[in-house]
Structure 1
Amino acid sequence: MEGLQALVVDDEQPVLDELVFLLGRDERIASVRAARSGTEALRILESGDVDLVFLDVAMPGLSGLEIARLLARFRRAPRIVFVTAHDAHAVDAFELGVVDYLLKPIREDRLRESVRRAGADAEGDHGTSDESIAVELGGVTRFIQRSAVAYAEAQGDYVRLHTVDGSGHLIRMPLSSLAEQWEEAGFARIHRSLLVNLAHVRELRMQAGRCSVVVPGGDDPVELSVARRHTRELRQLIQDRA
């Protein structure tokens, strides 16, 4: 991987200086530029040679969320890491497809992990590289990897992500949107309320004309029913992967 061109955007000078300093110590970063406002950041971003942006979420004028939404329209959008003192925007971060979500005060080891994730995303295709997903549990935001999700289940306006270790995490997003975003990463719709990670399908069962798949779920495997209209396509997808 070639060195990443980074941009740090924060209206607080001490935080800006610290991030520039810490990123300058990372051998994977080729250069670091700084901006104290969203307007200044956009002027730099228009040059098109920025690979990775560290965005403060709450800034006067253009906020980090607004800048991220603008960057989503770029033909070659840089990867984004949100930097904030609060975790209230973790769901927004996931919906905008950011690489990572850093909480202040910044720890150098956690910052280096963000750079690693951005580098991994740059080396793979945008749709197929692994992705970190912000989930909330009891007021605490944590990150899980998309590759650890065995299946996703619609629950009203939310989706519950079931990981291979048997844990479940709610995110606020329609299953239809998630299915579209994760299709290229190997996730397939098997029911109007279920999305399965093909990489974790252990068995495909056909019994009395009914189809089901078995995926890991902690101590015990989980069997999921496949709707008739998805059966043929699912069997073809599994055959193609094999």
Structure 2
Amino acid sequence: MLKVGIVDDRQIDLDKVIGIASQMEGVEIIFATTSAEEAYEQIKKEEINLLIADIEMPHLSGYELADIIHSHALHIHVIFVTGNSGYAVHAFEINVHDYIMKPYTKDRLTTSIDRIIEKTKQAEITGRIYIKNKNDIHIVLKKDIIFIERTGRSTTIHTKNRAVKTYQTLKELEGELRERDFIRSHRSFIINIHYIKNFSLYAKNSFVVTFEGIEEKAMITKDKVDFLQENYF
């Protein structure tokens, strides 16, 4: 399911995008607003795959929203739907997926969204990691990884269904995981943010992390908790 956020300060233009996107199979509208500031707050707390935005809006522009997404390495596609062609070159410098000029046809927008849906499907198919363990190679779906722990010379990958041990280092595994979903929470842990249930104070600058679905726990530093609160939750 492609999760979509929409922002346009003109209600009539917002309604047009909502009307088109809501009729597409495989699309779920998470938020739709005329306020760029509200869109920014929603991006921080909601998981979306696509932001459809006007560019010129009061206080905070669609270009600034896209720049935030780009600079924070968030895995969110952006489609600009705008009446201003002046930002086109700069838009593609920050990896904007598409730049659609108003007025536009229904097919123009649906074709662009369909391309993202296809990209997302391909990403899901290849969303796996190969774990080497002596003479064996375990194939683990990235979405099933809850957290990874380094203890001594070995590493344990805790998933929804099992725990897999390997001698691969956290640094080696970290390079294969999407930055938006996984963070290096502590020198000995990588955690999947989507399974976090609770933070409990452990010491002045660290917390214990509990997760949905398993009893095992991880550690996270205070700096990383602050980072998560500011950029994710």
Q: TM-score, normalised to structure 2's length?
A: 0.50
Higher relative contact order (CA 8 A, sep 6+): 2
